[in-house]
Amino acid sequence: MEKVLIVVGDASETLDTMYPYYRLQEAGFEVVVTAPEKRRYQMVMHEVKPGWTITKEWEGYTIECDVRFADVEPQKYLGILFSGGRAPEYIRYDEDLVRITKHFFETGKPIASVCHGVEIPAYADCVRGRKMATVEKCRFDLEVCGGIFVNEPCVIDGNLVSGRTYHDNGHYVGAWIKLLEEARTAR
């Protein structure tokens, strides 16, 4: 079974993480959760409530890390997902995560990003000239690093598939899984 990485940390968004996690299993992939340390991580749920101008946050489910960033051998994985939530803001500085991120962009393997997930490839200097969807408040992070913001539920730029928030899961995740299935067949 081909392995696919999902990148998380504390405060990863629950739906950004769990929807693709189970869709990947349904498609016959082995899902491997990676994070800074091998332990249980607390996910959150985010929503901008009517009348609010900022995001409200609630505790979500927890998820176990299968392999820490330092132990990931990226050549053993078919694809990667950068989940959203607040976690990317903190974990993007991890040198091993930067190494992993650069591998997937340099090798052209299928990549998915949603919401704040964009902060990881942006920090790793992998978004220059690439079109991506992200939540509006991360538009600056994308554009200041040379990326091109597209306000659509699914943006496909070569091997890179992205969505704005978990509201776009039904649009971008299927397109990314299709790329993974094509890559699996090509092996």
CA nearest 132: which of 80, 16, 115?
115
Residue 101 CB partners (closer than 8 Å, separation 6+):
80, 82, 120, 121, 124, 126
Query: How far is C-alpha 19 from the chain's CA centre?
Result: 12
Active site residue 171: no
- Find residue 62's DSSP bridge partners: 42
Catalytic residue of the set 46, 116, 167, 171: 116
Structure-token pair, residue 177: 């899984």
CA distance to 72, 78, 85, 107, per residue, from 38 (Å): 12, 21, 19, 26
Neighbours of 14 (CB within 10 A): 22
Sequence-distant (≥ 6) Cβ neighbours of residue 187 within 8 angstroms: 2, 78
List the catalytic residues. 116
